[in-house]
């Protein structure tokens, strides 16, 4: 059975940053890309808020750059998905794609969190062309335009008020006859003049053409349909951390995010570290993920030197 020092699970900014640092520390990291090589950023057309790219950068290009940098220092990057992992004792026993067996002295979990979508074919079609799950990432592209936010919780209200500071008009599409957000967030929404809350509305279809999103077809609870003209369609109905593999083995919070010791990447199992969105229900930015990947690598290095 193959024995490796550091196994990195996930290939987003957190995973690749952890790989760069552990490789430079001569820990011979092996990184498995998982089912979505490059992570969520590969669905983003342009990133303008990552330091070091003054003209912005395509999401796929940035992930290709990170991959090359990790490989340059000797990271062994492999395609494949970790399908089973036993964290009950070290070295940890790992199964890849249901067949390949290996063992690892330390593990860095960087499996990310997936945004929840409505499941509409048109939503998939226009992802990255007007459909987004991150207002902070993409709101800048819709300055002085009309957009919609789907959701009625705190995140949706935060996204809507943020977009309202940039956009001409923001529609909030809310399934229920009320907002689930905290009272303070609700008040902020209702005080913002260019936010219109559409209660008891569901999205039937995202509309668009070759240039991207142009509108949305909505249906009210009473069956009446209407079309709104928008350039951006933002999902804010939650994220799902990719932690199924670690359920029952690592300490997770109520939403499934990995809990870590404050100020560190250390999980409830010695020798297992977490980085990126899989442990971050609040910020979910490429730069914070990369930073936490660095922390995980340094924590891992110190652990292995003990």
Give catalytic residues, as residue numbers: 134, 137-138
Rounded CA gap, 280 and 265, in Å? Answer: 11
Could you tell me whether strands 2-9 and 30-32 are parallel, antiparallel, or unpaired per DSSP bridges?
parallel
Rounded CA gap, 181 and 50, in Å? Answer: 30
Give the closest residue to 60 by CA, choosing from 35, 72, 48, 43: 43
Alpha helices in the chain (DSSP H): 13-24, 59-72, 121-125, 135-138, 154-164, 183-191, 286-305
Rounded CA gap, 83 and 155, in Å? Answer: 32
């Amino acid at each position: 059975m193959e024995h490796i020092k550091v196994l990195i699970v996930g290939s987003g900014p957190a995973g690749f940053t952890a790989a760069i640092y552990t490789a430079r520390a001569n820990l011979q990291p092996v990184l498995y890309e998982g089912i979505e090589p490059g992570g969520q950023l590969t669905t983003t057309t342009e990133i303008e808020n990552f330091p070091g790219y003054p003209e912005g950068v395509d999401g796929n290009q940035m992930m290709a750059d990170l991959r090359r940098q990790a490989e340059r220092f000797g990271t062994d990057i492999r395609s494949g998905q970790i399908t089973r992992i036993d964290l009950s004792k070290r070295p940890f026993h790992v199964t890849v794609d249901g067949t390949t067996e290996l063992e690892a002295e330390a593990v860095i979990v960087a499996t990310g969190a997936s945004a929840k979508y409505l499941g509409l074919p048109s939503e998939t079609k226009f992802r990255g062309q007007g459909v987004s799950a991150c207002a902070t990432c993409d709101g800048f592209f819709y300055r002085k335009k009309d957009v919609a936010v789907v959701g009625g919780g705190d995140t949706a209200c935060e996204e809507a008020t943020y977009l309202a500071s940039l956009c001409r008009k923001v529609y909030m599409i809310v399934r229920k006859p009320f907002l689930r957000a905290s009272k303070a967030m609700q008040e902020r929404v209702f005080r913002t003049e260019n936010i219109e809350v559409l209660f008891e509305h569901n999205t039937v279809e995202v509309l668009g053409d070759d240039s991207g999103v142009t509108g949305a077809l909505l249906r009210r609870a009473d069956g009446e349909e209407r079309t709104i003209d928008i350039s951006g369609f933002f999902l804010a109905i939650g994220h799902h951390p990719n932690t199924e593999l670690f359920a029952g083995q690592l300490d997770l919070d109520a939403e499934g995010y990995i809990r870590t010791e404050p100020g560190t990447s250390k999980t409830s199992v010695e020798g297992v570290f977490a980085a990126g969105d899989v442990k971050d229900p609040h910020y979910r930015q490429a730069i914070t993920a990369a930073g936490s990947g660095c922390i995980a690598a340094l924590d891992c290095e110190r652990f292995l030197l003990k």
